Structure 1
Amino acid sequence: DREAQILRRALRRERVIRARLDILSFPDDFLCERYRFSAQSIIYLDNILRPYITHVTHRGHALSSLHIICIALRFFANGSFLYNIGDAEHVSKATVCRAVRNVTVALKRLLYSSVVFPGHRPTRFIKEGCHKIAGFPGVIGCTDGTHIPIIAPSVNEGDYVNRKSFHSINVQVHSSL
C-alpha cells in the first residue's frame, strides 16, 4: 500500500503555475477592445468591488480581485462561452463561472446605492402614470438602447463598428413620467 502511494505521487502531473499578466500595463485601446473599460475605469471597479470579491485563502496562487473583475468584464463584453473566456484569460471554465457570479453578486449588492432614478416627482405618481400608459403596475421608469448610425470617424474607427458591422453610437435612454 505504501509503495502504491509513492508510485501515485511520482506519476501525478506536476502543477504548472502560469505567471499572471499585468492587465493594466496594456494600452487603453487594448483594454477597451477586450473588457470595454479603460485602465482607470477598471481600477475604479476594483476599488469598489474588491471587498466583496476578494477571497481569503492560504493558497499562493489565488486570482487577484483585478483578475476576477477582468474575467467577468470579458464575459459581459462579448457574451461568449465560459470555455472561450477561460482560454483567453488562461483559467478554467469553473474559474470563469465563479468570477462572473462573484462580480454579479457584488454589483447587485451595490445596486441601490449606485442606480438612482432622477426626478422630483414622488414614485407613487410615476407608478400611476406608467400604469395608465402601458398597464404595467409598479413601473417607475424605462431604459432602452439603440444604435444611431454615423459616418465612420477617422480616429478609432474600429471602436464605432457594432455587431451588425455598421458604424454607430450606442445610446441608452431612460424615461420616467
Structure 2
Amino acid sequence: MAADIAILLMMEEEQQHSLKRRILRDKSNPLELPESTFIAQYRLNKEAFVMVLDKIQPRLRSSTIPAVLQLAATLRFVAEGPYQRSVGNDANISMARSTISEVLTRVIKTLKHSICHQWIQLAMGASEKQHSKDYFYNKYRIPGIIGCIDGTHIKVIKPSTDEDLYFNRKGFFSMNAMIVCDSNMTIRAVDARYPGSRHDAFVWSISTVRQHFPREFEIGDRTSRLLGDSRYGIEPFLLTPYRDPEYGSLHNTFNRAHSSARNVIERTIGLLKSRFRSLQGTLQYSPQKVVKIVNVCCALHNICRCYNIECPNIETITVSIEVYEENSEILSHNRMQNEGQRIRNEIANAL
C-alpha cells in the first residue's frame, strides 16, 4: 500500500514537473536574449541563427516543439556538450532528457544536409586562391600555398564493434578527423569518417581531398598546394618538412618557415574545439553520429567566421605539433613524390 502511494506521488510529481517545463518552453524565446548573452550560449549571433533557422525549418518534420527551440537546443549542446542534461535544464529550452535526445538526432541530421555542403567547400575561386597564396608568401616566403592540413582526434565511447580500430596511439577511443583550412582559418574540408587507429597519411590517401588535387594538377593548376606535417607523404600539391635537417642548413630554414606557416591549421582546430566544446569531451554516440556532429560543427565554425562572430571568454586550445618518424611517404606514388621533392628543394633554395 505504501509502495503504491509512493509510486503515485512520484508520477504526480513528474507530471507537474513536465507541465511546468512545457509552460516554460512555450513561453520562452531565445532570440529575446541580449546579443552578447545569445552568442555566449549559442555561438551564433542572432542574424546567423535566423539564417540557419530559415535553412532547416522546411526540412524539420512537424513537432510540438518550435523549430527555434530545436535549433537553440542543438547549438547549446554542441557549444557546451557532451552531456544532454545541462541543455535540457536551460531555462530558455526546458526539455526532458529524452526529448533533447530526439531533437539532437533530428536537427543534427537536418543541419548536415542543409548547411554542410554550402558552408564547407574545397573548391576555391581564383581570387580566394590568390588571397591565400599572397598571405603565405608575404608572411613566410613559401609560394603557392592555398591551405594547410592536419588531423585531430575526437573522443568517442567504446564502440560495440571493431573497438580495436577506434583505440588510438594516445590511449583512448576516437575518430581521426582530417581538416583542411585556408589562410582565413575557414575550414575547406573535413573527413571524420575513420577510426582513431588510422594514420593521418591513410586518411589523406583515400580522401576526396586527395582525389581533388591531382585532377587540378593535371588540368593545369600546378602552383596550388597544401602544407602538411611529416605524417603525410610529400607530393606536388602537399609539401611536408624535411626529416632531420642539419641545423642552419637551407632545409632547416625551410622547416622553420613551414612550421610557422602551418600554425594556421593548429589555430583553426583549437578555435573549433574551443567554440564547440562538445568536440573536447567524449561524445556518447555511435561513430556515425559523431561524424555528423563534427561536420556540423565545422560548418557552424565557418558561419561564425563569415559573420565575424567572436567567442567571448573562451580560451583557445593549443594543439600540439608532433613529429613522426614513420615512413608514411610510401603512400605517395614515386612520380608524385619526386616532383614534390623537386618543388620543395626549389622553395628551400630560394628562402
Task: Report the TM-score range of the alignment, normalised by the length of the smaller protein.
Answer: 0.5 to 0.7
Equivalent positions of 1:134-173 (< 5 A) are 134-135=232-233, 144=266, 145-146=269-270, 159-162=312-315
When the two structures are superposed, what TM-score results if normalisation uses the length of structure 2? 0.33
Give the Cα–Cα distance (whole angstroms) in 2 for the partners of residues 114 and 41 of structure 1: 12
RMSD, matched Cα: 4.0
Which of the numbers 97, 103, 118 marks the counterpart of 1:113? 118
**Matched residue, 2:62:** 56
When the two structures are superposed, what TM-score results if normalisation uses the length of structure 1? 0.61
Which of the numbers 46, 66, 77 marks the counterpart of 1:39? 46
Once the two structures are TM-superposed, the CA of residue 133 in structure 1 deviates from its matched residue by: 7.5
1:93/1:25 CA distance change after superposition, 3 Å: same
Cα shift readout 1:93-144 (whole Å, capped 9, x = no counterpart): 11111222122111221322332114369814179977998149xxx9x965
Which of the numbers 47, 60, 77 marks the counterpart of 2:79? 77
For 1:86, the aligned partner's letter is G
Q: Following TM superposition, where does structure 1 have runs of at least 4 consecutive aligned residues deviating by more than 6 angstroms?
A: 126-133
CA contact (8 A) 1:28 1:39 kept: yes
1:81/1:135 CA distance change after superposition, 3 Å: same
1:48/1:124 CA distance change after superposition, 3 Å: same
Which of the numbers 7, 13, 29 marks the counterpart of 1:22? 29
Which of the numbers 110, 122, 125 marks the counterpart of 2:214? 125
CA contact (8 A) 1:49 1:106 kept: yes
Give the Cα–Cα distance (whole angstroms) in 2 for the partners of residues 80 and 112 of structure 1: 25
CA contact (8 A) 1:36 1:73 kept: yes
Once the two structures are TM-superposed, the CA of residue 160 in structure 1 deviates from its matched residue by: 4.0
For 1:43, the aligned partner's letter is V
Give the Cα–Cα distance (whole angstroms) in 2 for the partners of residues 31 and 85 of structure 1: 14
What number of residue pairs does the alignment pair up?
139
Give the Cα–Cα distance (whole angstroms) in 2 for the partners of residues 169 and 82 of structure 1: 23
For 2:35, the aligned partner's letter is D
Give the Cα–Cα distance (whole angstroms) in 2 for the partners of residues 82 and 64 of structure 1: 18
For 1:20, the aligned partner's letter is K
**Matched residue, 2:107:** 103
- Taking only the aligned residue pairs, the percentage that are identical comes to 12
**Structure 2: stretches of 5+ with no match in the other structure:** 1-7, 130-210, 218-224, 239-261, 272-310, 319-339, 341-351
For 1:113, the aligned partner's letter is Q
